[in-house]
């Protein structure tokens, strides 16, 4: 694999790894909101009754998009870890799809 530079001066490999890190961070934020802040912290300060799905749905969709972008970048540059990262991303996407479906069902079902 030959390292090429992106217009910003970073290597393709660095850009792909950054995309992966961002996609995992968005997924982690969504899970923290859904499973810690919304059910436990928000009610303590008088927020969040019924807000979980309204917050979780758009963040979940953004996290899915970020994971797809990450997969595409790893494959586009033929990164040596592309299949490993793809498996992790696909697993995260699967969990996020389930959460988006549950949020959608709670909101519109």
Q: What is the mean pLDDT of each run of 10 residues along the chain (109 residues)?
A: 59 83 86 81 75 85 91 91 94 93 91
Kindly report, residue by residue over 52-68, the tens digit of the pLDDT: 788 889 988 998 998 99
Segment 38-57, tens digit of pLDDT:
778 877 877 766 777 888 89
DSSP 58-72: HHHHHHHHHHHHHHH
pLDDT value, residue 5: 57
pTM: 0.71
The pLDDT of residue 8 is 64
């Amino acid at each position: 694999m030959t390292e090429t530079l992106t217009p910003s001066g970073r290597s393709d490999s660095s850009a792909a790894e950054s995309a992966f890190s961002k996609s995992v961070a968005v997924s982690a934020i969504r899970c923290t909101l859904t499973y810690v802040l919304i059910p436990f912290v928000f009610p303590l300060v008088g927020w969040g009754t019924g807000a979980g799905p309204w917050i979780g749905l758009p963040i979940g969709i953004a996290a899915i998009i970020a994971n797809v972008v990450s997969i595409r970048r790893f494959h586009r540059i033929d990164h040596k870890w592309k299949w490993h990262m793809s498996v992790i991303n696909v697993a995260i996407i699967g969990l996020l799809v389930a959460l988006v479906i549950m949020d959608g069902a709670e909101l519109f079902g």
